[in-house]
Amino acid sequence: MVSTLFPSAFCFFFFFFFVCSPLFLFFCNASSALPESLPTLSFEEGYAQLFGGGNLILLRDGKRVRISLDERTGAGFASQDLYLHGFFSASIKLPADYAAGVVVAFYMSNGDVFPKTHDELDFEFLGNIRGREWRVQTNVYGNGSTAVGREERYELWFDPTEDFHRYSILWNHERITFYIDDIPIRETVRSEAMAGCFPSKPMSLYSTIWDGSGWATSGGRYKVNYRYAPYVAEFQDLVIHGCAVNPMDHSSACERPDATIYGSSTMEPEQRALMDGFRRKHMTYYYCYDHDRYPTPPAECKIDQIETRQYYGPDGVRYGGHRRRRRGGRHNRSSVAQAELHYKF
């Protein structure tokens, strides 16, 4: 009797334990929504100051990080480790009021380790003049492929200066997905067309604020005005859940299930529908449609001829709002777009 019941009881116990565990929740969410159960880190647990001295302040026992830009310096912090694949997230509140020329960045890079063949995944937040919204830009670089910028730019459906909003990057061997408030906004899939331009080397995670007066707002027309300084950005709900690697030989200490999760997660149809809807409504620049910049689009681009003719100008900027279709001014519009989209380094 005991020998008959024990396997069933054990299986039930194991099933109950596994289903209730954060690991199960991550497995369930790895292919559809983002994980809700991952622990957040304090600053001391996962980060180190990069620059800025007193312009970086820790609040709430290190669970919130405040970085600021003034006439002396900006500020930034970086992860203590390098990571090969994982899930990286922060809730961010951006500076209010006049913020032209100000750039806040949440990104991954290995430029300090591989200066000539670096990889990078960017969220860049571009400030604006009073009464104009912040813009969000994402970019993907691989193997030093900075000659081909893969920028996308979006408008937001909320005011990012009023409250914290969550920005996340899920990176695995096959794909990279950017999220805002758990809504996927961009997916880059490894393909033969991208060749070595798909990021594939360990990277650190960075958060910075700095002066981008030369390009960030209307191609440099509006610059940082330090009468409004300090410009303050705050970060909380810091999540690093990835495969840490040895900085010397880049060997990974990541074992299953992490390697399985980060190597196999895909997007469910419901999530893809959310992403497609976001991109139709909120994407304002798409590098694949920038024919002025790329007469021959990058190899990975899939061109929707109807969409590009009806909704985008030859500079890749979407028509609409204050950007209406007209014959005059196209070249001026393109030059501004090009200047704004210069790589930050």
Please say if 120 is a catalytic residue.
Answer: yes
Extract long-range pairs of 300-308: CB within 8 Å, 24+ residues apart: 300/191, 300/193, 300/194, 300/197
Token duo for residue 291: 């024919």
Contact criterion met (CB below 8 Å) for 256 and 122: no
Q: Locate tokens 């991208």: which residue?
A: 194
Give dist(CA 238, CA 96) in Å, integer.
Answer: 22
Q: Is 124 a catalytic residue?
A: yes
Q: Where are the alpha helices (DSSP H) in 250-311?
A: 258-264, 269-282, 305-311
> Which amino acid makes up residue 296?
T
**CA 196 to CA 145: how far, in whole Å?**
9
Question: Which of 36, 45, 124, 340 is labelled catalytic?
Answer: 124
Please state whether the peptide bond connecting residue 184 to the residue before it is cis, i.e. omega within 30 degrees of 0. Answer: no
- Structure tokens, 267: 């997007």
Give the distance, in angstroms, between the CA of residue 245 and the centroid of all CA atoms in the same chain: 21
- Could you tell me the sign of the dihedral formed by the alpha carbons of 83, 187, 279, 34, in that order? negative
Please identify which of the residues 36, 44, 120, 300 carries the catalytic annotation.
Answer: 120
Write out the catalytic residue numbers.
120, 124
